[in-house]
Every structure is written in structure tokens, then in C-alpha cells.
């Protein structure tokens, strides 16, 4: 009797499991039908203004998992912490959504490296971005921000003065980037030349992102190639200098790891430029947004200044022990990353078929992580447009999933410079708020412009008054 009972139970369980599997297999991901056979939903994306704005509308209509068509390729987008968590172990990145930047960063860039090649390079490169390594950069962080502060003080003549925030943060971020990634970069004229070449290349990528491609042999294409070659020549010059030095653990920089690890010059140049792009552009904009929010919220600025005054001294270099004590400073920067939606999306794929959020995903399907949608989700962040650093107090972060806040991406392919960005921002914000009362010039209308990185729609003009 027991045998027959077990047999019946076994058949019943097999039936239930089969039924569940078939139901999931037949389950269709909600989402958009392609507007046209060749273009998919690219017209809808263009009307939305950016991929982030398109994803906001997509998830608002279809829920936490939704699909759309990027040309002839179906894309799945997710915006929930639970599904982000399911993707934490996925490393490979679909090339389709990032291919447009290949002319600038090169086909050999780590941005396009998957499988063992990508994992091997990340393992080597991450040594230069570890907590221990980033702590060694504190001297460069302090030197660069003090240089900016000295220049600002000279322009003030003892009163309140106006300054172009985005321009100053770009200058600071690029100098820090070059000093820490490449070392021994102190020639301001060469830094300025590199900056000019970088701006030409980045502007060209922005034009192509907007659908404006240069004609072969045109002046636009020639200017881009000249600027790109200039940026590469800068890196080659750095390599020549570093190869002549005795490199130790204390003076090792990212470029030294590239010299040792990269099998060919093209890969070295691609990854060097990739890391400059990743570090410079995101940091400059995160700091611009940070000071914009601080300047517009006097209560936040007062509380922040009190904490910095208590833990960072009046004139000392800002060290790791001081940063670790400034809990509210970290909250302010986290809320800056959330409010600005600095990096709106990431993307991954797996070769094999998977179930995600209960839906079947065919192998090879690009899966967009709609990070910006999650960062603005009122379920996790009530009044999401309000700048409120207390959202990130030790008490409040316990009330939501940790994966609801993923400004640097999810899991194994998180932005390699996330520790670097946090430390650099902490030093810059602490030093500036310690020295100045920061305000906004009246009459400005600043809107976010969403791309791979979210930047202000116009130069932000601030007022500075020295504290006594």
C-alpha cells in the first residue's frame, strides 16, 4: 500500500512540476511590439529623449520587467531589486547597446571584453582600484582640490564671487584622473591639450548618439581622428616615462598594470582611454550635481559643514580616518547619485536560456538593468524628486532592499572605479564645504540630460563666500 501511495504522490508531483514549467515557458514578457520591422522601437526611444526616459515610461506601463525592440533585437529591461539580485553573478555585457562608442575607446576596450578575457582583465585591473590602492591616492586628491581652492580664492578678492561649477569640476576630475591612473602627469599644458582632444572626441560621440554621423573624409571625421590620435599620443608618452621607472607597490598606477598585462599596444591604448572616460566624465558630473544640490539646500549644507568641521580640522589634508567619521557626507553623496540618476542603466546577457522574474529569457537576449528607474521608484524612495540625504541614514537603509540603490551597477561587473569615485568625491566635497559657503546664482534653470552619464543642461553658476 505504501508503495502505491508513493507512486501516486510521485506522479502527482511530476505533473505539478511539468505544469509549472510549461506555464513559465509559455509566459510572455509584457512589453512593446516593434513599430517597424527594421527599426523596432527606436522611433519611440527617440521621441522619449533618451534611453532612461524611455525606460521610465516602459516600466510605468508594463511593470518591473518589460520588453522592447532595439532594431531587430528584442531587449528585456528589469527595474526591481529582486531581479537585479538574480543578475548579480552575470558578467557578460551585450555589445549592441555600447557599440556606438567603439570609434573612441577602440574595439579592444574592456567595455567589449566578455568571458575569460574580460574576467581576466578585470581581475588584474581591479588591483589599481582596491580600497588599499585608492587610499594611496589621497595625496593626489588633496593636492588637486587645494589647487582649485587656491585659484578660486584668488578670484574672490575677499567678497562673494560667481563661478562656473561644471568647468571647475571637469578641471579637477581630469587632473585627478590623469595623476592617479597614469602618475607623473603634472604638465598643465599637456593636460589642457589632452582635455581639448578629449572634448572633441566626446562631442563627436554625442553627435553620433543623436544620429549625426560624419561623412567619410569630411572635416568632422578628420577633426575627430586628429583629436583621437592626440589622446593616444598622450598615453604613449606616459608609457615611455613609466617604462623607465622602478615600479613598487607604493608608486604603482593603473598604467603600469596595463603595460605589464596588455599583449599589444592597441589594447593598452583602448583600456587606458576607457578608464579615463569612465573616471573623468562620471566624476566631473557627480561633483557638479553634488554641489548643485548642496548649494540649493541650506539646511543640508549647514549640517554637512558642522560634521566636516568636527572631523576634518580646519586646514589639514583630509585623510581616511576623517572620511570614515563623516557619515552624513557619505549620505549626501549617495543621495546625489540617486537624485541625479548619474548612470541610468547597465546591461548583461547569458548564452543559455534562463528564467528571470518568472519569465523565460532566450539565451543571448540583452537584459537592461534600469538602474535609474529603481533609483526614482517611490516604493523605495518616497518623494523621489526631493533631495534628502537622510534616506541613507543607517536606520533608513534597513527599510529597503540593498539592491534598490545600485548607482554603480550590479554584481560582478560593477563599475571598477566605485571606491575611487566615493573617495575622490568625499575629499573634494569636504574640502570645498569646509572653505566656502556655496550658493546658486538666481534665475538658472538646470535640467538633467540623460545619456550614458546624466549631465546638467547648462553650466551651473554658483556663488562662493569664504568661511571664517
- Residue 285 forms beta bridges with which residues? none
| Rounded CA separation 176/362 (Å) | 43
One DSSP character per residue, 192-238 reads HHHHHHHHHHHHHHHHHHTT-PPPTT-HHHHHHHHHHHHHHHHHHHH
- Comparing 280 with 300, the larger pLDDT belongs to 300
Which pLDDT does position 13 carry in this prediction?
47
Which pLDDT does position 319 carry in this prediction?
93
Which pLDDT does position 191 carry in this prediction?
87
Which pLDDT does position 158 carry in this prediction?
62
221-268 tens-digit pLDDT: 999 999 999 999 999 999 999 999 999 988 899 999 999 999 899 999
> What is the pLDDT confidence band of residue 3, given thresholds at 50, 70 and 90?
very low
What average pLDDT does the structure give for the chain? Answer: 91
- Residue 348 forms beta bridges with which residues? 367
- Inform me whether the pLDDT recorded for 6 exceeds 70: no
371-405 tens-digit pLDDT: 999 999 999 999 999 999 999 999 999 989 999 99
Which pLDDT does position 213 carry in this prediction?
84
Which pLDDT does position 118 carry in this prediction?
96
- Inform me whether the pLDDT recorded for 183 exceeds 90: no
Query: Measured between alpha carbons, how far apart are the two ends of the chain, in Å?
Result: 90
21-30 tens-digit pLDDT: 444 455 799 9
Which pLDDT does position 342 carry in this prediction?
96
> What is the pLDDT confidence band of residue 8, given thresholds at 50, 70 and 90?
very low
| Rounded CA separation 342/375 (Å) | 10
Which pLDDT does position 97 carry in this prediction?
84
Domains, the chain, ordered by start: 21-466 (1.10.630.10)
113-135 tens-digit pLDDT: 999 999 999 999 999 999 999 99
Average pLDDT over residues 289-314: 96
Q: Which residues are CB-neighbours of 20 under 8 A, at least 6 positions away?
A: none
Judge whether 226 and 218 are in contact, CB under 8 Å.
no
Q: Extract the C-alpha cell encoding 349.
A: 546577457
Handedness of CA 203, 334, 457, 178 (dihedral sign): negative
- Inform me whether the pLDDT recorded for 1 exceeds 80: no
Amino acid at each position: 500500500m505504501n508503495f502505491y501511495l508513493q507512486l501516486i504522490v510521485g506522479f502527482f508531483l511530476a505533473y505539478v512540476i511539468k505544469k509549472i514549467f510549461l506555464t513559465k515557458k509559455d509566459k510572455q514578457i509584457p512589453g512593446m511590439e516593434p513599430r517597424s520591422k527594421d527599426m523596432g522601437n527606436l522611433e519611440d526611444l527617440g521621441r522619449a529623449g533618451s534611453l532612461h526616459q524611455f525606460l521610465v515610461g516602459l516600466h510605468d506601463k508594463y511593470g518591473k520587467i518589460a520588453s522592447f525592440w532595439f532594431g531587430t533585437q528584442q531587449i528585456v529591461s528589469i527595474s526591481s531589486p529582486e531581479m537585479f539580485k538574480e543578475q548579480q553573478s552575470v558578467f557578460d555585457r551585450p555589445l549592441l547597446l555600447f557599440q556606438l562608442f567603439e570609434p573612441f575607446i577602440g574595439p579592444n576596450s574592456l567595455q567589449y571584453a566578455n568571458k575569460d578575457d574580460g574576467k581576466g582583465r578585470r581581475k588584474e585591473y581591479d588591483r589599481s582600484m582596491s580600497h588599499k590602492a585608492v587610499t594611496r591616492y589621497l595625496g593626489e586628491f588633496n593636492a588637486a582640490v587645494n589647487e582649485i581652492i587656491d585659484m578660486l580664492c584668488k578670484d574672490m578678492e575677499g567678497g562673494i564671487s560667481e563661478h562656473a561649477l561644471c568647468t571647475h569640476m571637469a578641471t579637477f576630475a581630469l587632473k585627478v584622473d590623469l595623476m592617479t591612473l597614469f602618475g607623473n602627469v603634472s604638465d598643465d599644458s599637456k593636460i589642457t591639450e589632452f582635455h581639448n582632444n578629449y572634448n572633441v572626441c566626446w562631442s563627436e560621440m554625442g553627435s553620433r548618439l543623436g544620429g549625426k554621423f560624419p561623412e567619410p573624409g569630411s572635416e568632422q571625421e578628420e577633426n575627430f581622428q586628429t583629436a583621437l590620435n592626440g589622446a593616444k599620443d598622450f598615453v604613449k608618452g606616459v608609457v615611455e616615462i613609466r617604462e623607465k621607472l622602478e615600479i613598487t607597490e607604493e608608486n604603482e598606477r593603473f598604467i603600469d598594470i596595463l603595460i605589464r598585462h596588455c599583449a599589444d599596444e592597441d589594447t593598452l591604448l583602448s583600456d587606458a582611454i576607457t578608464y579615463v572616460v569612465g573616471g573623468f566624465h562620471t566624476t566631473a558630473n557627480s561633483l557638479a550635481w553634488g554641489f548643485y544640490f548642496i548649494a540649493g539646500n541650506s539646511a543640508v549644507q549647514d549640517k554637512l559643514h558642522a560634521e566636516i568641521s568636527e572631523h576634518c580640522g580646519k586646514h589639514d589634508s583630509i585623510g581616511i580616518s576623517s572620511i570614515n567619521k563623516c557619515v552624513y557626507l557619505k549620505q549626501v553623496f549617495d543621495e546625489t547619485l540617486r537624485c541625479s540618476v548619474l548612470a541610468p542603466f547597465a546591461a548583461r546577457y547569458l548564452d543559455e536560456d534562463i528564467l528571470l522574474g518568472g519569465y523565460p529569457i532566450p539565451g543571448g537576449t540583452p537584459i537592461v538593468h534600469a538602474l535609474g528607474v529603481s533609483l526614482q521608484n517611490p516604493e523605495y524612495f518616497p518623494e523621489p524628486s526631493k533631495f534628502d540625504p537622510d534616506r541613507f541614514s543607517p536606520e533608513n537603509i534597513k527599510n529597503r532592499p540593498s539592491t534598490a540603490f545600485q548607482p554603480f551597477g550590479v554584481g560582478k561587473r560593477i563599475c571598477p572605479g566605485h571606491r575611487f569615485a566615493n573617495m575622490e568625491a568625499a575629499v573634494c566635497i569636504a574640502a570645498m564645504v569646509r572653505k566656502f559657503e556655496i550658493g546658486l546664482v538666481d534665475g538658472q534653470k538646470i535640467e538633467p540630460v540623460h545619456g550614458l552619464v546624466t549631465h546638467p543642461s547648462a553650466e551651473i553658476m554658483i556663488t562662493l563666500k569664504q568661511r571664517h
